[in-house]
Structure 1
């Protein structure tokens, strides 16, 4: 494969049509050009995305939930969207990018947008300025009176998503069908409503917590993608005028550069804390809250 990238097909049906293989080769050549050290990257194209992605997620060097099993990984998000690719940082400075082979059916533009977005995650990892788990690489104490670890982990991941997507737009690789809009926010907000309704029926706090946090994570990602479009002018401010949630995060994210600039860890953690506080506000506006009690107990509240 191109430029030292170790790329393989892991398919349940053997054989890849020549036309498809050539298209993947073209996009992977562009992908490899974005990687500082291609020889430390493996790309797996598979028609068993959930299974393969789950296998690698449990090997990641930094996990927010270390008890999660490979079988528990789900590509589906709370609003029904599905992940098409996943980048995982492995031990010994290796990265693996798992890509769902059905991405091919969406066309070259979508393939390029998705693969080059994932390439930026690899770039952040290799440059050492990924925000994900940056609190583990700095001298950091959680400001427990404001946020919990849930908010911080989501904020860190959202920062990375913003920076990667910003770079995609700045390089001119945008697939318009991959940009987010206020309608996507509406879809996530509907999942919060469903969680509240379910809680009223069964009073299951654990389920409300899991579903509520999953919805917040999805909302943060949608807003990060949307903010990247706004910051680069790919989408207009007017198009987001009816989504107040964007106003909670845009001013925190928009000053962050793309992946070509290495951001100091101190800046990343400060930004993550600011964003985490905004995420808590967003969760409260949806009728929930997650915080520590005076004795240190984590509490999830449905209002």
Structure 2
């Protein structure tokens, strides 16, 4: 049985990915607290701290999903450094392990985000787009990707959009005001939200894992991005709640500071390379995705 090493395995995406892979692969998870990871993931999942790994000769694949949540706290100088270090440091270490390995893994799948493009308007963006808007989210992702691409094996970069899952992530933060009947668009609501259902997210990661022709950056977003206003209307309808309020820009900026850029601006991102490679989305439209969630 092939052996897969995963960082970020206790996170939202990691847990669902492990659930999908554990009957087909032997899995070991890198964790700062291996005993806690073992309790969360079960006894059949191996756990190890990064410092305990001396070589990776026994692994056929490495999936790197580790990173401090980017929108959970205000972007103080200290928090920005934590966000950067949590991505760059572990990726650097994994790349060094790959490059020094006697038997290199067949593939290195490393995380990124659609934030690499920075704030954009309504122009459709695919993986060939390089007119990045120079801001913090873009700087973090661009360096993160650059480090990962230094690995001497097949490298796939997962530029992830907003992951829709009933158990956490961005959607969990959005739902409460809608449940209370206070939900609505943010600011003008014209900013695009590039999203992906959690099942398509993990299915696409497994597609990268098994498809030897996949290499380079891929947009992990559904093929139908929507404006924030459209998203708000569809979410309200799914929850059978009104969508009559609008959150002013000044309120978001006051609450979130600089990190408000993540919700006030967006990108219309399309998964051109995923579709060209033959990947099929189970939930290509927002209505299908929301209806499939237990919310």
Using structure 1 for the length normalisation, give the TM-score.
Answer: 0.30
Instruction: Name whichever structure is richer in strand by fraction.
Output: 2
Instruction: Name whichever structure is richer in helix by fraction.
Output: 1
